[in-house]
Amino acid sequence: MVKEIYENTFVDAENSKYALVDFYADWCGPCQQLGPIVSELSNVFAGQVDFYKINVDEAPETCDRFGITNIPCLILLKNGEEVDRSVGFRPMNGIENWIKSKI
């Protein structure tokens, strides 16, 4: 399951051992394509990685903090610290392998 977070609840992602945060926008076509993949991967990695999504239009301070300039952007956090990021659309197996290589 992917949990929607906001600037005031971003700490939820930071408090996870591993968290994948999907920075997206409703108007972004590639973001809409990536959403179902992220949702499916949340089931694959259940119990290992917590999955979150945050709307960039509603979170300008968080976007500035992480230097988000292009979306979709997936950021993998470990204990609140950025481990790596993936920018742009990628197929499911590419993202799955990327996550596996980082956790």
Q: Which helix (H) or strand (E) holds 92?
A: helix 92-102
**pLDDT classification of 51: cutoffs 50, 70, 90:** very high
Reply yes or no on whether 31 is catalytic. Answer: yes
Task: Give the pTM.
Answer: 0.96
Structure tokens at 52: 């979150």
Catalytic residue, candidates 2, 13, 28, 41: 28
Reply yes or no on whether 28 is catalytic. Answer: yes
Structure tokens at 91: 């197929």
How far, CA to CA in Å, does 16 sit from each of 29, 30, 80, 82?
A: 29, 26, 7, 12
CATH says 2-102 is which class?
alpha beta
| Whole-number pLDDT of residue 37 | 97
Catalytic residue, candidates 31, 49, 71, 75: 31
Share of the chain above pLDDT 90, in %: 100
- Contact (Cβ atoms closer than 8 angstroms) between residue 51 and residue 22: yes
- Please list, residue by residue across 5-34, b when 16 or more beta carbons sit within 10 angstroms of its beta carbon and e when fewer do: beeeebeebeebebbbbbbbeeebeebeeb
Structure tokens at 2: 């992917």
| Whole-number pLDDT of residue 14 | 96
